[in-house]
């Protein structure tokens, strides 16, 4: 089955800096890669996603890139703000059962 690895596990940046989180997946048949932001005790919130037919997608300060050949995808946050502090999860979707397999999460801390 699918396996998703995520790095780093923790990331501390200064406000205004950029943050990059990377994920790799194992199943070349996976075709949907969402990113979720989860605040303590809350549900995961979809912040951006990318499908296998595109290589990059951007939404204001957030961007995601996908390299299907290398089977990795990355989240880029520019001009970070303290409110960006949370745990971020990447995921890959199984094409058959459509279940999401999550990475282990990255705790992002943005200091003022």
Partner 1 sequence: GAVVSQHPSRVICKSGTSVKIECRSLDFQATTMFWYRQFPKQSLMLMATSNEGSKATYEQGVEKDKFLINHASLTLSTLTVTSAHPEDSSFYICSAQKYAGQGWTEAFFGQGTRLTVV
Binding residues (CB under 8 A) for partner 1: these are 32, 34, 36, 41-46, 49, 51, 89, 93, 97-105, 107
- 71 or 107: whose CB is closer to partner 1? 107
Shortest Å distance, C-beta 60 to partner 1: 17
- 37 or 110: whose CB is closer to partner 1? 37
**Which residues make Cβ contacts (< 8 Å) with residue 57, sequence separation at least 6?**
48, 49, 50, 63, 64
d(CA 74, CA 63): 8
d(CA 6, CA 8): 6
- 31 or 78: whose CB is closer to partner 1? 31
């Amino acid at each position: 089955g699918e396996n998703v690895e995520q790095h780093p596990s923790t990331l501390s940046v200064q406000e205004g800096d950029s943050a990059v989180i990377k994920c790799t997946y194992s199943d070349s048949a996976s075709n949907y890669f969402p990113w979720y932001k989860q605040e303590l005790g809350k549900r995961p919130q979809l912040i951006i996603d990318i499908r296998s037919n595109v290589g990059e997608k951007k939404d204001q300060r957030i961007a995601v890139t996908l390299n299907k050949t290398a089977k990795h995808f990355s989240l880029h946050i520019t001009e970070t703000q303290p409110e960006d502090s949370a745990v971020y999860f990447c995921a890959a979707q199984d094409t058959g059962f459509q279940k999401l397999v999550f990475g282990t999460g990255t705790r992002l801390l943005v200091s003022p």
